[in-house]
């Protein structure tokens, strides 16, 4: 790829990253749909190729989707109503899954619910669920007059936008929950940042672990990566002294260890103090005795080629990881392809 195109792509990623960081700072503010459109749409247009955006909220009393839309005017149009089972936004709200339509003229799944998009001569349409930890709010859609206008990178970016929009409009969230969600988004943004595309394994680990240490509520964080030569797991932590206390030799066997169990089973492990105390593993006892660990979360890291290792997060408080908190700690690692690529390059060098 010519250098000038590489530079253009990097600059676009940087612009998107800056925009999302700015939105993360707005999460603690409350917006109604009118305010949201006037503030959001002009910011997004320079970095995403859309001609139309619509914001839909589920109306529980009428069992319909109340839709606001914007086409470049200073103020959004008056809202429309559509039945849940006839609208693309209704399908997304009900199924909690994104929807991408590359060519509206070739897709008849949501007629007549998409007729109003045809009238505006739109050809591509993508919709994302607006959901918080407490409720399913609605959906956020983007349309373009071009066929197949939205790339996979656009979809990933707009998915992050939808997460932030949901937090901005959900007035039921209390301050602690809102703060935790804002921290989650900050963490994911830093992990996805353009400068964290490092090909070196050590740089990738340092960047991601550093972001987790900054934004996640915990005392210790690390990652066990599978070491093919020794057939064991190698622990990496920002705190080298803590790593030595936990794993004096640097390597953890897969057999007979809690991290090994998570690695083999590909299942997360969440334990409070009583659960940890009941385990026979020497590494667990070292963590409790030398580091004062009282709560633990382990999550397998898996790429398309297979398991990579295990994420480890620990607290010294007897405050277990909640079902909503644990998974998002591992979410930044779900694209294990990059970490796996870095690991492969290092082992092959």
Q: What structural domains does the chain harbor?
A: 3-179 (3.30.450.40), 200-348 (3.30.450.40)
Q: How far is CA 94 from CA 82, 90, 98, in A?
A: 14, 6, 11
Place of tokens 């949901």: 166
CA distance 60 to 35: 23
The predicted structure's pLDDT at residue 96: 93
If one counts every other C-beta atom within 10 angstroms of the C-beta of residue 62, the result is 10
Q: Name the pairing type of β-strands 52-59 and 136-144.
A: antiparallel
Q: In this predicted structure, what is the pLDDT of residue 336?
A: 45
pTM for this structure? 0.58
**97's tokens:** 């899954």
Own/partner contacts of 248-255, CB < 8 Å, gap of 24 or more, are 251/227, 252/224, 252/283
| Residue 29 pLDDT | 58
Q: Would strands 64-70 and 80-83 be described as parallel, antiparallel, or unpaired?
A: antiparallel
**How many Å apart are CA 118 and CA 222, to the nearest integer?**
51
pLDDT (0 to 100) of residue 77: 65
Which residues on neighbouring strands pair with residue 349, listed in sequence order?
none
φ, ψ for residue 302, nearest 5 deg = -130, 135
Note the pLDDT of residue 1. 35
Q: What is the reported pLDDT for 48?
A: 85
pLDDT of residue 113: 73
How far apart, in whole angstroms, are the C-alpha atoms of residue 231 and residue 68?
A: 56
Q: What angle do CA 271, 277, 282 make, to 5 degrees?
A: 100
Q: What is the pLDDT along the chain (349 residues), one digit of tens a residue?
A: 333 322 333 344 656 666 665 665 565 555 666 677 777 777 788 888 889 888 899 998 898 999 888 776 655 567 788 889 888 999 999 999 999 999 999 988 887 778 888 888 999 999 999 988 778 999 999 999 999 999 988 898 888 888 888 887 777 777 766 666 666 666 555 555 544 444 455 566 666 666 565 545 567 888 888 988 999 999 888 778 888 888 887 899 999 899 999 999 988 888 889 999 999 998 899 889 988 999 888 888 877 677 888 888 888 887 666 555 545 555 555 544 445 444 554 444 4
Q: What confidence score (pLDDT) does residue 150 get?
A: 94
> What pLDDT is stored for residue 197 in this prediction?
46
- Which DSSP string corresponds to 202-256? HHHHHHHHHHHHHHS--SEEEEEEEETTTTEEEEE-S-HHHHHHH-TTSEEESTT
């Amino acid at each position: 790829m010519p250098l000038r195109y590489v530079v253009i792509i990097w600059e676009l990623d940087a612009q998107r990253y800056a925009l999302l960081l700015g939105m993360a700072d707005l999460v603690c503010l409350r917006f109604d749909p009118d305010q949201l459109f006037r503030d959001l749409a002009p910011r997004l247009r320079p970095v995403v190729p859309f001609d139309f955006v619509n914001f839909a909220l589920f109306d529980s009393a009428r069992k319909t989707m109340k839709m606001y839309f914007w086409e470049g005017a200073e103020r959004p149009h008056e809202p429309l109503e559509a039945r849940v089972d006839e609208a693309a936004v209704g399908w997304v709200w009900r199924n909690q899954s994104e929807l991408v339509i590359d060519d509206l003229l070739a897709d008849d799944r949501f007629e007549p619910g998409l007729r109003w998009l045809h009238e505006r001569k739109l050809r591509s349409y993508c919709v994302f669920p607006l959901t918080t930890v407490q409720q399913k709010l609605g959906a956020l859609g983007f349309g373009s007059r071009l066929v197949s206008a939205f790339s996979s990178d656009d979809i990933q970016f707009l998915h992050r936008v939808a997460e932030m929009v949901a937090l901005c409009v959900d007035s039921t969230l209390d301050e602690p929950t809102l703060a935790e969600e804002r921290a989650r988004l900050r963490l994911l943004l830093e992990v996805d940042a353009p400068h964290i595309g490092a090909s070196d394994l050590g740089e990738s680990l340092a960047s991601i672990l550093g972001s987790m240490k900054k934004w996640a509520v915990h005392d210790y964080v690390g990652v066990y990566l599978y070491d093919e030569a020794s057939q064991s797991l190698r622990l990496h932590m920002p705190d080298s002294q803590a790593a030595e206390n936990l794993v004096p030799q640097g390597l953890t066997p897969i057999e007979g260890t809690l991290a090994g169990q998570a690695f083999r089973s590909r299942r997360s492990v969440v334990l409070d103090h009583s659960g940890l105390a009941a385990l026979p593993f020497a590494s667990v006892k070292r963590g409790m005795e030398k580091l004062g660990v009282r709560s633990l979360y382990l999550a397998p890291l898996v790429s398309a080629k297979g398991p990579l290792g295990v994420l480890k997060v620990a607290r010294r408080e007897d405050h277990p990881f909640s079902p909503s908190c644990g998974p998002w700690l591992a979410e930044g690692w779900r694209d294990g392809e990059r970490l796996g690529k870095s690991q492969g390059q290092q082992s092959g060098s």
